[in-house]
Amino acid sequence: MTEYSFKQVDVFSSVPCKGNPVAVVVGADTLTTEQMANFASWTNLSETTFLLKPTLPQADYRVRIFTPKTELPFAGHPTLGSCHAWLASGVQPKGSTIIQECGIGLVAIRRDTEKLSFAAPPLLRSGHVEPVVLERVAKGLKIPLSAILASSWADNGPGWLAIMLGSRKEVLALEPDYAALSDMKIGVIGRWDPVQDGVDAQFEVRAFAMGAGVAEDPVTGSLNAALAQWLIGTGRVPVKYIASQGTILKREGRVYIEKIAESIWVGGVTRTQISGIVTL
C-alpha cells in the first residue's frame, strides 16, 4: 500500500459545494489501471482522475480520467479540477498556457485570477442525428419530437448527442426514462428568458450520462464545450455566454463560454474542498 496526495476539487461554481466534484490522485504513476478503476468505482463520483508524468514533451502533466464504470479519453470538469490540483501541488507550467496530456491528445488550459478555462478539443463526431435515434431520445425524455428545435451529434470523447429545446422551463421540466436511455449520453440546452429567469446566465444545460453510469451529471465541461462548438458554429448562440447547470440537483453551476479567434474556451471557478492523503 502506498500513500498519495489527494484532493477533491469543486468545479464550475463560485459557491462552495455547489459545483461538480472531482477526485484527484497526484503522482499516481505507480498505480495500475485496475487500481485506478477500482478507486474510481469506490469514490462513486462522476469522475476520478490520476495525475501522471507526461509522455509528450509539450505537456506539463498527463491525466487519466475514470468514471465509476469506464475510462474516458477526455472530460471537461475533470480537466479543470485536475489542473487545479496540479497547480496546487506547487509546480509551474512550462509556458503561459498549461498543456494537459490525456486520451484525446493535448488540451490547452489558461488561468486568470478566478477561473481556469480549457480550449475545446475537436469534435470526434458531429452532424445529423438519425431519425430513429432522435425518436428514441424524444420518447426517453418524454417529450414530443416537435419540442426538439435542433439536434446534433456532439462527441468530443464521452459520446454526447445534443438537443436544443425552446426554453429553460422545458429543460428543467424533463423527467427522463433513464432505463430507456441506459446506453446513451444526452445533452440538453434551452435559452433563459431574461424576464422570467433573470440575467445570471443565458442558457440552461442538463447532462444525462446513463452510458457512463451517471443518471444526471451536475455540471459538465465536455458537454458545454461540444454544445458551444455546435451552436456557435451554426449561429444559434452568441460567441460569448454563460450556461447554468445543476439546478435540478440543487447545484449552482456556471460555465463561461467564449470564442476567441478559432478557439472556444470553456471556463469556471475551481476550489479545493478536500485535501489529504489516500492509501492505495
Q: C-alpha distances in angstroms, 208 versus 13, 174, 186, 189, 211?
A: 19, 11, 5, 12, 9
Rounded to whole angstroms, the Cα distance separating 88 from 92 reads 10
Contacts of 60 (CB under 8 A, 6+ apart): 54, 86, 91, 93, 94, 98, 99, 100
- Taking the CA atoms of residue 78, residue 83, residue 84 and residue 90 in that order, the dihedral angle to the nearest 10 degrees is 150
Catalytic residues, which ones?
47
Bridge partners (DSSP) of residue 23 are 8, 48
DSSP-derived pairing of the beta strands 115-119 and 125-127: unpaired
Closest CA to 147 of 123, 166, 175, 169: 166
- The distance in angstroms from the start CA to the end CA of the chain is 5
